[in-house]
Amino acid sequence: MPLFTQKLDLTTAAKNAGTELADVTHIKGAFKVYDTFQALLSESVSRISDDQIVFVSSNSNLYQATVHQPDYVNTYSPSASWAEFNAFAGDIKGVSAGSGLDGGGSTGTVSLNLDTGSTHFTQAVQNLVTAGVFHQTGSYYATTNNLVVTGSMTLDYNGSASTLQINSASNNIFEINQEGVMVLGQQTGTPTPVSGGIYFGSDGNFYFGV
């Protein structure tokens, strides 16, 4: 028989056969599962350790033991009492929906959802729409920001039936049509002369600045 300082172990054959080293039912202080609370109360105190935790299947609760030693005045043998063990349980009493959310609750399974009709949600969507350089104005996207291109820039004009235009005060100054032809807007007056400049006059002539 092994001594208390020795280690109990199964033989290789026993391990391969699935033999249990010990039955937890008979181990004092082990975590055990009882079918009912009454079955727990019927457990021999000799198999119960102080602060031992067990689980009762019928009500899905954990219980912790308190072992009472005899005082040899009123009691002459140890006894045990059980209290629900809630150390693993949280103290959340409910979930409330904050701004931009709906749902929540204080009992059962609760969930939170986006309130798409709330001011917070619609304002957030609006902020996303207006967060970029270009903002939608009707069917167009426009900007009043100064644009600087530090690298190369390519305008993909494939499939468009419109021309590329530069306008000033609603007047067409310059455009490139679908065939790649550069077109100068016709000037109704004589612009300020600029060396190297060119404009198309209302008389159908081109004028060059020298």
- Give tens-digit pLDDT for 73-120: 998 999 999 999 987 666 677 888 888 888 888 877 888 888 888 888
- 15-19, 124-128, 205-209: which has the highest mean pLDDT? 205-209
Question: Of 9, 53, 49, which is closest to residue 31 (Cα–Cα)?
Answer: 53
pLDDT of residue 84: 92
Is residue 29's pLDDT more than 90? no
- The DSSP code for 25 is G
Rounded average pLDDT over 23-29: 79
Question: Of 79, 54, 84, 57, which is closest to residue 67 (Cα–Cα)?
Answer: 79
Whether the pTM exceeds 0.85: the reply is no
Query: What does the block give as tokens for 106?
Result: 């204080």
Domain residue spans of the chain = 12-84, 126-208
Cβ partners under 8 Å of residue 114, min gap 6: 100, 101, 102, 121
More confident site: 2 or 102:
102
Could you tell me the pLDDT band of residue 62, with boundaries at 50, 70 and 90?
A: very high
Angle in degrees, CA 35, 40, 42, rounded to 5: 120
More confident site: 98 or 50:
50
Exposure string over 37-55, b if 16+ CB within 10 A, otherwise e: eeebeebeeeebeeebbbe
Could you tell me the pLDDT band of residue 12, with boundaries at 50, 70 and 90?
A: confident
pLDDT of residue 21: 67
Question: Of 67, 83, 87, which is closest to residue 75 (Cα–Cα)?
Answer: 67
Q: Token pair 């039955």 is at which residue?
A: 23
Is residue 5's pLDDT more than 70? no
Query: What does the block give as tokens for 66?
Result: 């308190």
- Give tens-digit pLDDT for 122-179: 888 777 777 777 777 777 778 888 888 888 888 777 766 778 888 887 788 888 888 8
Rounded average pLDDT over 200-209: 90
